[in-house]
Amino acid sequence: MLSRKIEYIKKQTPEIYMEAIRALKDHNVKKYIFKPSNNEIWLVVGKEGEYLVVDYEHNGEISFACSCPDYLFHSLFKTGKKGIIRRRKYCYHIVARMLAELGSLGGDNYSKFVDEIIEEDAVFHELISEIIAEAHPI
């Protein structure tokens, strides 16, 4: 469950949790809804660009992936902390989306910070190619 995952993240990496809340409060979390398909994409404006946060199903549970370098590095490579070797499968962009999707936590309503943007389907591919170009500059 999402709230359990967030509790875990808050305990393990409080700095990432706080950065996610800051991103929400700064209105850096954008939800694009494309019409008429109702396709959705979530973007988080980061320090060096906009990142795409996608969801997928893993063992019957919802999981997230992000297009940022931090996520890529920590989800692919094992990092050591206090002698424990583990992978971190989230970044603050993902945590920000999780908080937004959850809506509220401990009396705080995070979904209200999400900017919802309605676009036509024709813009969808344009937006995706822009993000890919940003992630892989030539």
Residues in contact with Zn ion by CB under 5 A are: 51, 66, 68, 71, 91, 93
Give the list of residues 6+ apart from residue 74 with CB closer than 8 angstroms, or none.
87, 88, 89, 91
Amino acid letter, residue 136: H
Least separation in angstroms between residue 38's CB and Zn ion is 24
Closest to Zn ion by CB, 34 vs 92, is 92
Nearest to 96 by CA among 15, 26, 24, 18: 24
Those residues with Cβ within 8 angstroms of residue 114's Cβ, 6 or more apart along the chain or in another chain: 24, 29, 30, 31, 100
User: 40 vs 121, which CB is nearer to Zn ion?
Assistant: 40
Give whichever of 34 and 71 is closer to Zn ion, judged by the CB atom. 71
